[in-house]
Amino acid sequence: MKIGFIGLGNMGSHMARNLAAAGHDVTGYDMSPVRVPGVPLANTAADAAEGAEVVITMLPNGEILRQVSEQIQPAMKAGACHLDCSTVDVDSARAVAESASDRGLLAMDAPVSGGTGGADAGTLTFMAGGPEEAFALVSPLFEIMGQKAVHCGGAGNGQAAKICNNMILGVTMIATCEAFALADQLGLDRQAMFDVVSTSSGYSWSMNAYCPAPGVGPKSPADNDYTPGFAAALMLKDLRLSQLAAQSSGAETPMGSAAEALYSRFVEEEGGGDKDFSAMLPRFSRLNGA
């Protein structure tokens, strides 16, 4: 398959490399000078998109996605698919899909979960929104870049699934960190806390698979001085997207709003943006005087 790949950063470079290694004809473009094995670079985004059956974008935000889509979609051939794997606001995803449809193109928003490690290993999870025809066309590419792809419905629903999932993750991580900090204040050993909660009604992914307490549970970023597997700054981005969607749709999300406020303080006022999002635990411990 002839593929254009726009956005060869920490995620996109691995994804494009894996597609090329699988035998696809991939042409890339990025604003920064990059080198990706097996992926020649075009001079412009439009050049990378020209003649491609699928054009994949992996971009920082919705505003940039809208701008890039206006460059690449006119260069794409009729029936080609614009596959956006960025994490952006739902409104931008739907606007880009509508503009693609108006031009006789297919479109699919498919944000990912799995981080740079998953992008490198080809084990990402894709949450896809768009028509069945588009999902069928790009499914073989999902199988190369990831281990799972879920078709969530129409345009924008991939983004909706991503931000709803990560709102849950942000809220449960804060609750888990609060509970460990409270346990410390009450003199409860962290291992004992984990042994009880991980097999009781407090069970969660944040506790059982990604425990924020160093030396407790399976190995996690907490055991590496909170070097990010998923940075707090990225969690803040996703929480803000969830609250933007909540405001746009009229949904009440008080816990999501509280999580956004806490991560905003942690990232923007307390310098925690380059730490893992589970570094909320030492933050609470510090505030508690531990």
What residues contact residue 81 under an 8 Å CB cut-off, 6+ apart? 53, 54, 55, 105, 106, 107, 108, 134, 137, 138
162 tagged catalytic: yes
Active-site residue, from 2, 77, 148, 162: 162
Q: What span, in angstroms and rounded, lies between the C-alpha atoms of 260 and 117? A: 25
What residues contact residue 274 under an 8 Å CB cut-off, 6+ apart? 228, 231, 232, 233
DSSP, collapsed to helix, strand or coil, labels residue 288 as coil
Q: What span, in angstroms and rounded, lies between the C-alpha atoms of 69 and 47? A: 13
Q: What span, in angstroms and rounded, lies between the C-alpha atoms of 222 and 210? A: 8
CB-side neighbour CA atoms (13 Å) of 22: 20
Residue 267, φ and ψ in degrees, nearest 5: -80, -45
Q: What span, in angstroms and rounded, lies between the C-alpha atoms of 90 and 277? A: 23
Amino acid identity of residue 142, one-letter, is F
Tokens at 177, concatenated: 């960190």
Residue 244, φ and ψ in degrees, nearest 5: -60, -45
54's enclosing H/E stretch is strand 54-57
Catalytic residues: 162
